[in-house]
Structure 1
Amino acid sequence: MDDLVPRPAPRRVYGTAHDDPNPGPRPGCTYVELVGGVLDGQLLDVTGWSEGERAGGALLIAEVGLYGEGGRADYVQRPGDPARWDWNGDVP
């Protein structure tokens, strides 16, 4: 019977190809969850990033954002919850 229960798709890691058969997280890597904006729900691989690099957040390519192709989505560490990064807006 368990085979009939739908299982949720693995969370997509930012930057994986749309046709990647395994777009989910990989063992041994460290991820943060992107919250809000066009990348909402995706995971960002921060393996090897220092605390300072993580504190600086990230400008991530987001071709479907406000600025279209070449635009970026700005994500910053959530205060008190460094495993979740909040959308801070789109930039050209």
Structure 2
Amino acid sequence: MSAPLRRVYGTAHDDPHPGPQDGHAYVELVGGPLDGELLDVTSWTESERETGAYLITEAGAYGPGGRASYGPRPSVPQIWDWEGDGP
């Protein structure tokens, strides 16, 4: 039995290929409204990767257009933990 396809943040829900692409770098989003999705950080600088991001989401506490804050886990920087929601 194969593992389910992991969805990449920002891909359309009807995208026939919403999963990771070869040659790209991803971090895993853990917790909050984007739990389990992958974020493509291929073109991000090391500084940007260390900072984290506010990602637009419709599923957060502020509804459509709200943001979810995710930042790298200190011990495992390839995993970004949810830090809370914002407008």
TM class, shorter-chain normalised?
Answer: over 0.9
Q: How far is 1:8 from its partner? A: 3.1
Are 1:90 and 2:78 an aligned pair?
no
Instruction: Give the residue type in structure 2 aligned to 1:78.
Output: R
Equivalent residue for 1:29?
24
Number of aligned residue pairs? 87
Query: Which of these residues, 65, 71, 80, is aligned with residue 70 of structure 1?
Result: 65
Give TM-score scaled by structure 1 length: 0.91
Are 1:53 and 2:48 an aligned pair?
yes
CA distance in 2, matches of 1:74, 1:46: 15
CA distance in 1, matches of 2:22, 2:86: 32
Moved over 3 A (4+): none
Identical residues among aligned pairs (%):
64
Are 1:16 and 2:11 an aligned pair?
yes
Aligned partner of residue 38 in structure 1, secondary structure: helix
Give TM-score scaled by structure 2 length: 0.96
Structure 2's unaligned 5+ residue stretches are none
- Of Structure 1 and Structure 2, which has the larger fraction of its residues in strand? 2
Aligned partner of residue 29 in structure 2, secondary structure: strand
